[in-house]
Amino acid sequence: MRHYRATGTVQPKPHGGGAVAKLGQEHLPIVTALVQAQPDALLTELCERFCQQTGIEVSISTMQRAVSQLKLSVKKTLVAAEPETQRVKDLRFAYRLWSLTIDPRNLVCMDETGIHLVMTRLYGRAPIGERLYDSEAPGYRGKNISLIGGMSRDSDTSTVGRSNH
């Protein structure tokens, strides 16, 4: 009401402008290069590397807005480094041939399940419609918790639990 009495109109006042963005279009190629160098980098890591390259400190939310302008999805699939090499294919074939020579009464079926406690990054950035594949998951550092069970044709199942440090 006060605005109407003062101006005679109910039109809103013009926008005041707001804060100027720290990252403009000219900075997006740098952010793109940082993401391409390590697609599964955390936003905090991208902020630190951006500051190292440009000298401009940005917040995590500012970096998130810049990364979202790149139209990247956040998907990642861990894959083996050499699943379809000729050597692996030959080994699989040789194993299948060898397994045909075994008497089933002499088999003990073993199964293992476990948790590897090293924290592998489950997400990374890739263009929308594509998936990020990572064959460089951390090695065997950290603690394992395993559960192993065995079963044969003529015996019961036994289970063993173990924690490796």
Helices (H), 8-85: 28-37, 43-54, 60-69
Q: What is the pLDDT of residue 157?
A: 63
Alpha-carbon gap, residue 77 to 131, rounded angstroms: 7
Number of residues that this document lists for the chain: 165
Q: Three-class SS of residue 135?
A: coil
Q: What is the pLDDT of residue 140?
A: 55
Q: What is the pLDDT of residue 163?
A: 63
Q: What is the pLDDT of residue 33?
A: 94
Domain ranges, ordered by start, for the chain: 23-70, 78-159
User: Average pLDDT per run of 10 along the chain, which is 165 residues long?
Assistant: 82 77 89 91 93 93 90 78 82 93 85 74 82 68 75 72 61
Q: What is the pLDDT of residue 126?
A: 83
Q: What is the pLDDT of residue 51?
A: 94
